[in-house]
Structure 1
């Protein structure tokens, strides 16, 4: 009987483990193996790092990776600026207004990212609502070019990613004891001191987890950069798509995908450990 109980957790986790193996581990191994083939195909059956020398040695691909990570950093920073105060306000609302506000914040997640991005394409176009309003107010003499620009992609991606930041920070705030703020105010602390010394230390784990999620999702985003950025603003996911489906260069596309995955993983782990170490030293 004891043996059966000891093995029960393993049996319960077996279905999930098999799904992870079938839909995550095996595709990753196949992608890695595909990236080690030569292009164009040769008679040699040996593996090669030729594709990786192309990725790291070509200024074109280095520029695309740089643009992708710059985009991810900017979007993550803006999501923190918008999502943290928003989550804090939500945590202080009454239950009825909180439920309504959470629905408004999380509502965009209920529709396809493609639909949301197409909506932004309509808003940001030369004849869209944004430019029409600016022209009617007399703030500009000609339409502001937002489509196929870095700024346009940032605006659309921030709208897509902010709910993830709000959820992460709001979860951290739910674990916080509200009485600690009242105690600090009773002891004479100002509102700014309460936020800096009481609220921020307890929110940092949520900001960190939300920031890493937003960074990873932005670096791997395809639909929004493809629609808003178009061919003029290439990022890594759209480049992978072009190499595999347009140029039929599967090994190079797989190599770019592997490099992107490894870079996001290393950056996420490194930043996470650095912030946690600084967090312990300061607080």
Structure 2
């Protein structure tokens, strides 16, 4: 038996389990999205693209999709701006302080998403810690509206998405050649120049993988937008929930979910190709 065939046979159980857990639900959701719905008769087994036409022909859903991807994009950019310097500093720390910093970075992931988001609701509320501090300092006269806004959602998402970016960039920088920084320093380059001309190009693979993770998770996040955004700043995930649990129009909710999946995949593939070209140009 060839080594390739043996490897495929050894991987078969995992591949079958992966297919059952991932592709079967997706296929079922897609089939459901093709059914029709009647408020009196419920789901009907009619097959057709009517739900997709209903979503693509309604400007209301374009607004929600635009808000969702804008939030995901801003969250990703902020995570890159925070994550790359933090990962670089972690690389230069001693092993003891690096282990402490890793615990600090992954700390938000160890807390329940609901508890974490409720904490941000307390901080960002009209009578929250931020507004009370600004009022007592005399910087503002009335509370700044941060709850039920896209900005509030971004702040809460950045808190939990930064660890993914930091760890991805850190892993990429660990494979980089440290002699490049020393060479740049010996040639008279300053810290900012070294970071911009040496560190960032070497961190591009990590930035790519981290940005893909952050963008996809931000675009599909539910708990944080539901609590922080509420009904005034709806995103796709909360809209799907409303269709399933509110109006009970499961086929329409499934169609919106499938469009979200396709949109995220298209954006990720385009971004992956763009950054890969940049990496090839830098390496070449």
The TM tier, using the shorter chain, reads: over 0.9
Residue 6 and residue 174 in structure 1: after superposition, are their counterparts in 2 closer, same or farther (change >3 A)?
A: closer
Residue 38 and residue 113 in structure 1: after superposition, are their counterparts in 2 closer, same or farther (change >3 A)?
A: same
Match of 2:30 among 20, 29, 32: 32
Asked if 1 retains the 8 angstrom alpha-carbon contact of 2:37 and 2:43, the reply is no
Matched residue of 2:213: which SS? helix
The within-5 A match list for 1:1-283 is 2=1, 7-40=5-38, 45-283=45-283
Deviation at 1:199, TM superposition (A): 1.4
Deviation at 1:194, TM superposition (A): 2.3
Q: Quick one: distance in 2 between partners of 1:233 and 1:11?
A: 48
Deviation at 1:239, TM superposition (A): 0.2
Matched residue of 1:39: which SS? strand
Residue 119 and residue 189 in structure 1: after superposition, are their counterparts in 2 closer, same or farther (change >3 A)?
A: same
Kindly provide the CA deviation profile for residues 134-167 of structure 1, in whole angstroms up to 9, marking residues without a partner as x.
Answer: 1111111111111111111111011011110001
CA RMSD of the aligned region, Å? 1.8
Asked if 1 retains the 8 angstrom alpha-carbon contact of 2:43 and 2:250, the reply is no
Kindly provide the CA deviation profile for residues 190-228 of structure 1, in whole angstroms up to 9, marking residues without a partner as x.
Answer: 333322332111101101110111000000000000000
Matched residue of 1:52: which SS? helix
Deviation at 1:11, TM superposition (A): 3.3
Deviation at 1:7, TM superposition (A): 4.4
Deviation at 1:14, TM superposition (A): 2.3
Asked if 1 retains the 8 angstrom alpha-carbon contact of 2:76 and 2:215, the reply is yes
Q: Quick one: distance in 1 between partners of 2:33 and 2:227?
A: 27
Q: Quick one: distance in 1 between partners of 2:43 and 2:247?
A: 21
TM-score by length of 1: 0.94
TM-score by length of 2: 0.94
In the alignment, structure 1 segments of 5+ residues that lack a partner are none
Matched residue of 1:142: which SS? coil
In the alignment, structure 2 segments of 5+ residues that lack a partner are none
Matched residue of 1:18: which SS? helix
Matched residue of 1:232: which SS? coil
Q: Quick one: distance in 2 between partners of 1:241 and 1:110?
A: 25
Asked if 1 retains the 8 angstrom alpha-carbon contact of 2:108 and 2:160, the reply is yes
Q: Quick one: distance in 2 between partners of 1:18 and 1:282?
A: 39
Asked if 1 retains the 8 angstrom alpha-carbon contact of 2:36 and 2:51, the reply is yes
Asked if 1 retains the 8 angstrom alpha-carbon contact of 2:36 and 2:45, the reply is no
Residue 51 and residue 43 in structure 1: after superposition, are their counterparts in 2 closer, same or farther (change >3 A)?
A: closer
Q: Quick one: distance in 1 between partners of 2:134 and 2:215?
A: 31
Asked if 1 retains the 8 angstrom alpha-carbon contact of 2:37 and 2:44, the reply is no
- Between stretches 48-57 and 271-280, larger displacement belongs to 271-280
